[in-house]
A and B are shown apart, each in its own frame.
Chain A
Amino acid sequence: MAAADSPSTALRRRDLCSRGIRLAGKMRADVVDLLDAYVEQQGLDASASVAAVEGVPLAAVERWDEQTGTQRLLENLAAYRAFRALLAQMLEEQREQLGEADAGLGRALAAVLLQVSAFAYHLEELLRLESRGIPGEEEDGPPPPPRLSRFEQKLRGLGVLRELAHWAVRSVRDLRQLAKPSPASGAAPGLAESP
């Protein structure tokens, strides 16, 4: 059994978790707004079914309850790093395709990208707190996406934003799970233990 946290670490974790929860909640609200604007601006049908988009991490997870705290953080971190790259790609496509037309959507996209970057950093903070090694980012970043047609780009953007909204919800649940005090000592358990 790993030794329980010192009170200061537990306090620090709870603080990071609650700030992370607020950040994820705000991010979700902004992503949902962005999604609405994106659907309208791209002339898409909100009910469009989008098959799993290559490179987009899925928020749905089996046996969520059984995940350790470290697994939660590592999966969250990997996901938000992926979203950071995907949103940056979308922003690039936005500039390429639209130039200054509809700069509003571009700004909203950039704002969400900023939040995703901040949240990824926040997750790294949590991992550092547990003196967990921060997984290095892939040296030269994710492989360049295949050359897609405009419609495929639009659908992929839709898929990315939808999944990001799902992830924000999952992150809130994960962080709440991490912030829970362990039943025995009342102090928050070490990451390895917390299911």
Chain B
Amino acid sequence: GSLGDPQNLKCVTHNLQKMVCTWDVSSRGRRGQTDFCYTTNDLTPQVCFTTKERRVEIPIPESSITVTIKSSGTATKEFVIHQKDISFVPITPHILSLMPDFPTSTLNLKWSDNGSVFPYGLDAFWQIQILRKEPMEVVTQVTYYSKLTHEDVILSWNWTSDMPLECTSHYVKIRCYINATQFVGSKDWSDWSPAEVIPGKDTEPGESGVFPLDPVVAVGSDLTFCCVHEEDQRITNMIYGSKSYTMMQLSSRSHAIRVLNANVSNSSGTNVVCRLENAWEGSVVFVGYAPDTPQNLSCETPNFLIIKCTWKPGRPSGLYGERRTKYSLFERTSGRNVSCEVSELSKDHVCDFPVLPAQKTYDFILGVSNPIGQAKSSLLVDITQRVHPKTPEKLTVTENNSTSIQLRWFINGSFAEIRLLCQIEISSSHSERKLQNVSTPGRKSSTYTTQVNELHPHTKYQFRVRCSAADHFWRWSDWSRGVEQTTSEA
């Protein structure tokens, strides 16, 4: 070609509909008017226009296109561009939003897939890069897949950092690749989007401290703590518990340590201390266990006024005070919920729930939660079959003759809905211990009496009583206090 001839014609499409063709001119070519003509095949008329740029945007040909370029003062140069010669580079994605959630160290990224530009159903791959530190390092790069729907869809993606977002600035970039199967030209990744940044505390003047602040984490976690300090403040060391850890520098104002497989902390938590030249910064991490599923959940009523549920809590969580494991008892039929006052240290876990009017069956869910996790157990129970009366009180002998006596006792509770079965224990120094059962309609906070016959005259006896539900036995009450009586002489 002669001097100034157009050369290196390249065409790139960003949207599979139009393409941008660019060319350059062999050396010392003057920049002047250029006549650009193209025709896709013999049938359609040639389209021409004049341009000062060495860049035009024209439709993509079905198969090929003939281009003639004539710059002022040069010969006309003809090029044939086949679709296979065209490269497809999607439009650079645009990040719509990058939102931090500091408590969970999570970034939420939102971007548009620009689907409206492309035919329906194309596969799209999005590479997302997270960068950190000074100088910037790639922390992670993931590929996210989506399908284009010929509409602009906002895509969303979450990433949880291995260190608190406060520690140092986090940057996010994204690019995409669209698998246009019908397009025969070369296909490539788009350019990276401009990086979006979530500034760390190490960029805020006067800010300092250890992060995360007072977290609650599960035993076995791998933890990263950082110390943000002033630029001119020399950092001596960072201590976790009582051990000094090797530090990694995140920026000129931030250093971090990595603690692997954290052990359960003591009740006041594990201190994370950052010793600076003339100051201390610190945080306290509480390392514990998520609650176990409560075992052996059992509920009974002592008096048809309250229902007592007990359970085995399982492994202690190691969390105390405001972080302790909390229990609540939810009853599905009535929708009632009761929070239980249970101490982490107490062996017996008990929760009281009110007996509800006209409700026999209770569908309990015992919910357990602490900052690390939650669990639950459930139990369906008919309380008339779970009666465990209180200890009978005020056992007294009301009548007495040589061969029989009458006993009276009191039981606290409303047993009007059931029959009670009570058992009298009769013992004396020279006869075997005997048990006498008596069944009686239950009543509300009432006294009960029974006759004990076939006793020996002039004999000292000891009597005790215990009770239970007659129809659906569940558990005996405890024995009452004993009472002693000597039968009269014959």
Q: A-side interface residues toward B, CB under 8 Å?
A: 41-45, 48-51, 95-102, 149-152, 154-155
**Residues of B contacting A102 in the complex (Cβ-Cβ under 8 angstroms):** 267-268
Given A43-B241, A155-B280, A99 and B343 touching (CB < 8 A)?
Answer: yes
Q: Does B283 contact A (CB under 8 A)?
A: yes
Given A49-B280, A96-B322, A150-B214, A101 and B273 touching (CB < 8 A)?
Answer: no
Q: Does B210 contact A (CB under 8 A)?
A: yes
Q: Does B35 contact A (CB under 8 A)?
A: no
**Residues of B contacting A150 in the complex (Cβ-Cβ under 8 angstroms):** 213-214, 269, 283-284
**Residues of A contacting B344 in the complex (Cβ-Cβ under 8 angstroms):** 99-101
B234 to chain A, nearest CB (A): 15
Contact across chains for A99 and B321 when beta carbons are under 8 A apart? yes
**Residues of A contacting B272 in the complex (Cβ-Cβ under 8 angstroms):** 151
Q: Does B345 contact A (CB under 8 A)?
A: yes
**Residues of A contacting B213 in the complex (Cβ-Cβ under 8 angstroms):** 149-150
Q: Which of A43, A50, A98 contacts B271 (CB 8 A)?
A: A43
**Residues of B contacting A99 in the complex (Cβ-Cβ under 8 angstroms):** 320-321, 324, 343-344
Which chain B residue shows the least CB distance to A94? B321
**Residues of B contacting A51 in the complex (Cβ-Cβ under 8 angstroms):** 279
Q: Which of A41, A96, A98, A155 contacts B282 (CB 8 A)?
A: A155
Contact across chains for B284 and A149 when beta carbons are under 8 A apart? yes
Given A42-B268, A98-B320, A48 and B343 touching (CB < 8 A)?
Answer: no
Q: Does B266 contact A (CB under 8 A)?
A: yes
**Residues of A contacting B283 in the complex (Cβ-Cβ under 8 angstroms):** 149-151
**Residues of B contacting A152 in the complex (Cβ-Cβ under 8 angstroms):** 282
Contact across chains for B280 and A48 when beta carbons are under 8 A apart? yes
A41-B267, A98-B268, A99-B320 are known contacts; what are 13 more A-B pairs with Cβ within 8 Å?
A: A43-B269, A43-B270, A45-B242, A50-B280, A99-B324, A100-B320, A100-B344, A149-B213, A149-B282, A151-B210, A151-B272, A151-B273, A154-B271
Q: Report 15 cross-chain contacts, Cβ distance below 8 Å, ordered by A residue.
A: A43-B268, A45-B239, A98-B268, A99-B344, A100-B320, A100-B345, A149-B209, A149-B213, A149-B282, A149-B283, A150-B283, A151-B271, A151-B272, A151-B281, A154-B282
B446 to chain A, nearest CB (A): 39
**Residues of B contacting A41 in the complex (Cβ-Cβ under 8 angstroms):** 266-268
Report the count of interface residues on B (CB-CB < 8 A).
28
Q: B-side interface residues toward A, CB under 8 Å?
A: 209-210, 213-214, 239, 241-242, 266-273, 279-284, 320-322, 324, 343-345
Contact across chains for A96 and B321 when beta carbons are under 8 A apart? yes
**Residues of A contacting B268 in the complex (Cβ-Cβ under 8 angstroms):** 41-43, 97-98, 102, 154
CA distance A97 to B284 in the complex (A): 12
Given A43-B241, A98-B321, A149-B214, A154 and B345 touching (CB < 8 A)?
Answer: no
Contact across chains for B271 and A44 when beta carbons are under 8 A apart? yes
CA distance A150 to B283 in the complex (A): 7
Which chain B residue shows the least CB distance to A153? B284
CA distance A101 to B324 in the complex (A): 10
Contact across chains for B282 and A151 when beta carbons are under 8 A apart? yes
Contact across chains for B271 and A101 when beta carbons are under 8 A apart? no
Which chain A residue shows the least CB distance to B274? A151
Contact across chains for B321 and A101 when beta carbons are under 8 A apart? yes
CA distance A51 to B282 in the complex (A): 14
Q: Which of A49, A101, A155 contacts B320 (CB 8 A)?
A: A101
Which chain A residue shows the least CB distance to B285? A150
B326 to chain A, nearest CB (A): 11
CA distance A160 to B227 in the complex (A): 25
* Interchain residue pairs A-B with the least CB separation, the first 7: A151-B282, A101-B267, A150-B284, A101-B320, A97-B321, A99-B321, A150-B214
CA distance A98 to B318 in the complex (A): 11
A75 to chain B, nearest CB (A): 29
CA distance A98 to B268 in the complex (A): 7
**Residues of A contacting B209 in the complex (Cβ-Cβ under 8 angstroms):** 149
Q: Which of B210, B242, B271, B345 contacts A42 (CB 8 A)?
A: B271
**Residues of A contacting B267 in the complex (Cβ-Cβ under 8 angstroms):** 41, 98, 101-102
A95 to chain B, nearest CB (A): 7
CA distance A149 to B267 in the complex (A): 16
Which chain A residue shows the least CB distance to B270? A43
Which chain A residue shows the least CB distance to B279? A51
CA distance A44 to B271 in the complex (A): 7
**Residues of A contacting B284 in the complex (Cβ-Cβ under 8 angstroms):** 149-151, 154
**Residues of B contacting A149 in the complex (Cβ-Cβ under 8 angstroms):** 209, 213-214, 282-284
CA distance A77 to B267 in the complex (A): 35
Contact across chains for A43 and B321 when beta carbons are under 8 A apart? no
A46 to chain B, nearest CB (A): 12
Q: Which of B266, B281, B320, B322 contacts A43 (CB 8 A)?
A: B266
CA distance A41 to B273 in the complex (A): 16
**Residues of A contacting B242 in the complex (Cβ-Cβ under 8 angstroms):** 43, 45
Given A42-B268, A149-B213, A95 and B282 touching (CB < 8 A)?
Answer: no
CA distance A128 to B270 in the complex (A): 48
Given A98-B267, A150-B214, A45 and B320 touching (CB < 8 A)?
Answer: no
